[in-house]
């Protein structure tokens, strides 16, 4: 081989080696890619329903521990203050939610019948998931099949127990399985919102929602989904687990977790639901999402062989923290705060503090100040499967605001004497304070240890955004709102109007951009334009009173575009739009189609009285380009406002002005709560099923009467309190395969005619469905009668 050939071979090998090393580095970066928290939502004890209220609560000194609600008779029935009494619970207090029966089934397309049978945990998760997506500015359009994964921590399903006693199964209906199955907690969210990513429920007891976070992080980094919803839910509805926990003395008699204190005597149970939205940091920055914190690393392990299945294992806790540090590529001395598992037990607290000190406290060389630790369990109770998500949202708020709330107050007494506080580098803050200045980065960890032995730890960091100038635009703004009902629209418009009035002028463009692109269009709509927050607020409130619903699920009007050919004014108008909205591109037809309009180009206008370019639909003529071409952006917004209230399915991302971003803290959907609840039942003898009415023939019936019967029977099956809206489809009013079966059985019993079940799968208005079924019933009944006469 010639020297030149050898040299060429060596050069090629070096080039290949460098390429392979670069790819290895790239893959390593992918494996540790930082993730952004872009949206949060919650329902916590003490009436906490927003992150803002939660933060105010954390900085205060109130606690959310209270008596067992009156709608839990089973918990009251087993209460006995004597701990030694078998079959009883000595606890009558805890962290309870204010309302677990309220729900808006119509919003989610769920029938009243199904909603009654649905585990309230699933209902609350649906609401929290929707709110978290809205706070992230991500519109949930079901048929878009958004590439989002759902990861939910849940460990109990006690509600369905009340549907059947041991000796009476008549209360079990088709929704028994789907209403209470753990898998449905995540699957229902994905189904209802049309998500296409991984969807799973996770049960590792008290570490469930933090393990769900770990799985979501792995899924995002592996590219399995673009967005990940991570949540947890816990409700205390059955006396059984309460009795069991009291029998092994796991619970504090006063229902309060006295974390790290000398009074620690067990944990206090709590209820709650939380949800956060994650995505890769680079994607979040590219999309202009509100980034509240950065998830750097997670880890999960198990206690393995220990002194007991439910006994904490200190070495295993150290291992999981070290694994999370390695995943985050963070040094232990950089961690300034840890949200501890901190249940307030005499056994668990010393083991956990010892593990924290070994890794992050005294065991962290160069630590500038002692590690601060706390646990929100002492304020709201131990939320069990939802404890991790409650602590996560607390950390996100702390990192965002740069403050560490007090972990204990003066009334909490002395610290646990079994923990050698004077010899360790761990501190429990008694007052709220800013993040300690010696830390160069704001980093916090959170631990969760399941009774199953599964441990989890995660590390988050405060997000440091690049400085962006926030100027005040002189362009007009467009605000669009919508809701499923007039009541929700009125409530939402009032909340948005109040927010717009208080909004700094520099944030107005971001707020309007968020409301335009981060919300889902429904049939009750308003849209207004204006130049100030106060002007927009006034016009919103005035417009609500004039609003009329549009057809549900429609594509909106087809629009005719008429343009004066070769017009200099049209060219100047397009230039004005390009200056105002850099994302808009192309000629007028292309630009309008990019905004979601169904545009047909018509003949040139005979006159320019209505503009050099204009839109026409449903008898309306709206100018787009006038002689004063500088008005083109305002004319476009006015046209889009009119199209929105006419039912157009607009995609308004292109109206994002320079510097506008997705703004958090805007009002989210106004759910209309109605009581969906099955009372706890006493054991009674099984009752006989009611016999059906004598069958009647429809052969000579009027089709209108048959259709009225069908409408009334379907409303009965769905348990609808109001007549069904016949412009909506079977699915939109909450119908599914189960209700189709119940409806079919009832109709066939009435008319002795087999119904074509394939009709229910078509997305047609109920009026069309009833007409088709009515025709089929009359036709089939008539044929049956004729056959009987012939016989």
Whether 341 is catalytic: yes
What is the dihedral angle through the alpha carbons of 677, 52, 664, 464, rounded to the nearest 10 degrees?
A: -130
Is residue 396 within 8 A of residue 54, CB to CB? The reply is no
Hunting for tokens 């050898």 — which residue is that?
6
Hunting for tokens 């040139």 — which residue is that?
604
Which long-range contacts link 358-362 to residues 24+ away (Cβ below 8 Å)?
A: 358/314, 358/318, 359/318, 359/321, 359/322, 359/325, 359/332, 360/321, 360/332, 360/333, 360/335, 360/445, 361/424, 361/425, 361/426, 362/423, 362/424, 362/425
CA distance 762 to 743: 16
Is residue 213 within 8 A of residue 152, CB to CB? The reply is no
Q: What are the Cα distances from residue 729, in Å, to 705, 735, 767, 768, 781? A: 20, 9, 9, 9, 26
CA distance 294 to 519: 24
Phi, psi of 103 (to 5 degrees): -165, 155
Q: Is the backbone of residue 40 left (phi > 0), alpha (psi -120 to 50) or beta?
A: beta
CA distance 754 to 776: 9
Q: And the tokens for 19?
A: 């390429």
Reduced 3-state DSSP string for 131-171: HHHHHCCCCCCHHHCCCEEEEEECCCCCHHHHHCECCECCC
3-state DSSP assignment of residue 701: coil
Is residue 344 within 8 A of residue 258, CB to CB? The reply is yes
CA distance 180 to 193: 19
Closest CA to 394 of 410, 409, 367, 374: 374
3-state DSSP assignment of residue 623: strand
CA 96 vs. chain centroid, Å, equals: 21
Which long-range contacts link 84-90 to residues 24+ away (Cβ below 8 Å)?
A: 86/247, 87/243, 88/243, 88/246, 89/239, 89/242, 89/243, 89/245, 89/246, 89/251, 90/246, 90/251, 90/253
Closest CA to 389 of 268, 290, 259, 276: 276
Provide the sign of the torsion angle of the four alpha carbons 396, 398, 399, 400, taken in this order: positive
Is residue 706 within 8 A of residue 774, CB to CB? The reply is yes
Is residue 435 within 8 A of residue 403, CB to CB? The reply is yes
Q: What is the DSSP letter of 466?
A: P
Q: Among 182, 214, 292, 341, which one carries the catalytic annotation?
A: 341
Whether 513 is catalytic: no
Is residue 174 within 8 A of residue 355, CB to CB? The reply is no
Is residue 228 within 8 A of residue 196, CB to CB? The reply is no
Whether 401 is catalytic: no
3-state DSSP assignment of residue 674: strand
Is residue 348 within 8 A of residue 314, CB to CB? The reply is no
Is residue 711 within 8 A of residue 193, CB to CB? The reply is no
Q: Among 182, 214, 292, 382, which one carries the catalytic annotation?
A: 382
Q: Among 202, 206, 246, 676, which one carries the catalytic annotation?
A: 206
CA distance 692 to 672: 35
Hunting for tokens 């056959």 — which residue is that?
787
Could you list the active site residues?
206, 341, 382
């Amino acid at each position: 081989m010639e020297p030149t050939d050898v040299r060429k071979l060596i050069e090629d090998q070096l080039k290949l080696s460098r390429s392979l090393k670069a790819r290895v580095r790239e893959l390593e970066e992918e494996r540790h890619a930082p993730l952004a928290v872009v949206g949060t939502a919650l329902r916590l004890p003490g009436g906490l329903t927003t992150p803002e209220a939660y933060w105010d609560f954390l900085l205060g000194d109130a606690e959310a521990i209270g008596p067992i609600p009156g709608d839990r008779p089973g918990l009251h029935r087993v209460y006995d203050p004597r701990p030694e009494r078998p079959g009883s619970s000595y606890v009558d207090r805890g962290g309870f939610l204010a309302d677990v029966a309220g729900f808006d089934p119509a919003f989610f397309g769920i029938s009243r019948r199904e909603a009654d049978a649905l585990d309230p945990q699933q209902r609350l998760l649906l609401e929290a998931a929707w709110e978290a997506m809205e706070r992230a500015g991500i519109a949930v359009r079901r048929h878009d099949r958004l590439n989002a994964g759902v990861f939910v921590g849940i460990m109990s399903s006690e509600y369905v127990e009340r549907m059947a006693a041991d000796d009476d199964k008549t209360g079990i209906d088709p929704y028994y399985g789907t209403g209470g199955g753990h898998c449905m907690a995540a699957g229902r969210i994905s189904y209802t919102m049309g998500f296409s990513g991984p969807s799973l429920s996770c049960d590792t007891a008290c570490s469930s929602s933090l393990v769900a976070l770990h799985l979501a992080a792995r899924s995002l980094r592996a590219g399995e989904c673009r967005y990940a919803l991570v949540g947890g839910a816990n409700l205390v509805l059955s006396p059984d687990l309460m009795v069991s926990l009291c029998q092994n003395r796991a619970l504090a008699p006063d229902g309060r977790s006295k974390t790290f204190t000398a009074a620690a005597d067990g944990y206090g149970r709590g209820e709650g639901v939380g949800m956060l939205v994650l995505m890769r940091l680079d994607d979040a920055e590219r999309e202009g999402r509100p980034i509240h914190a950065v998830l750097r690393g997670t880890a999960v392990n198990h206690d393995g062989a220990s002194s007991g299945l439910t006994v904490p294992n200190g070495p295993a806790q150290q291992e999981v923290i070290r694994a999370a540090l390695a995943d985050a590529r963070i040094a232990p001395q950089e961690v300034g705060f840890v949200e501890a598992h901190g249940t307030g037990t005499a056994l668990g607290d010393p083991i956990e503090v010892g593990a924290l000190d070994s890794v992050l406290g005294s065991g962290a060389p160069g630590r500038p100040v002692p590690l601060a630790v706390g646990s929100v369990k002492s304020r709201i109770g131990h939320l069990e499967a939802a404890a991790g998500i409650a602590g996560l949202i607390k950390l996100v708020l702390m990192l965002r605001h740069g403050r560490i709330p007090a972990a204990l107050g003066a009334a909490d007494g002395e610290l646990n004497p079994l923990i050698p506080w004077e010899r360790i580098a761990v501190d429990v803050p008694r007052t709220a304070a800013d993040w300690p200045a010696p830390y160069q980065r704001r980093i916090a960890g959170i631990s969760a240890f399941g009774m199953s032995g599964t441990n989890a730890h995660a590390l988050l960091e405060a997000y440091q955004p690049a400085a962006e100038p926030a100027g005040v635009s002189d362009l007009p703004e467009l605000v669009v709102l919508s809701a499923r009902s007039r009541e929700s629209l009125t409530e939402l418009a009032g909340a948005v109007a109040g927010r717009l009035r208080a909004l700094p002028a520099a944030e107005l463009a971001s707020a309007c951009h968020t409301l335009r692109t981060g919300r889902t269009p429904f049939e009750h709509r308003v849209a207004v334009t204006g130049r100030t927050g106060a002007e927009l607020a006034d016009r919103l409130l005035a417009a609500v009173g004039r609003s009329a619903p549009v057809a549900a699920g429609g594509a909106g009007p087809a629009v005719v575009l008429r343009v004066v050919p070769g017009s200099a004014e049209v060219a100047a108008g397009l230039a004005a739009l390009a200056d105002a909205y850099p994302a808009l591109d192309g000629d007028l037809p292309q630009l309008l189609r990019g905004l979601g309009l169904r545009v047909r180009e018509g003949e040139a206008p005979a006159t320019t009285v209505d503009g050099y370019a204009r839109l026409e639909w449903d008898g309306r003529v709206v100018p787009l380009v006038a002689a004063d071409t500088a008005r083109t952006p305002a004319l476009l917004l006015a046209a889009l406002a009119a199209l929105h209230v006419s039912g157009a399915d607009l995609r308004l991302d292109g109206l994002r002005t320079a510097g506008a971003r997705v703004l958090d803290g805007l009002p989210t959907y106004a759910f209309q709560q109605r009581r969906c609840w099955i009372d706890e039942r006493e054991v009674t003898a099984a009752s006989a099923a009611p016999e059906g009415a004598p069958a009647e023939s429809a052969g000579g019936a009027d089709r209108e009467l048959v259709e009225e019967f069908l409408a009334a029977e379907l409303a009965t099956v769905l348990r609808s309190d109001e007549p069904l809206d016949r412009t909506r489809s079977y699915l939109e009013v909450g119908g599914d395969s189960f209700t189709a079966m119940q409806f079919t059985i009832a109709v066939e019993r009435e008319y002795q005619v087999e119904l074509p079940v394939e009709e229910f799968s078509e997305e047609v208005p109920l009026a069309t469905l009833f007409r088709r079924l009515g025709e089929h019933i009359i036709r089939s009944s008539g044929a049956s009668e004729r056959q009987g006469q012939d016989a």
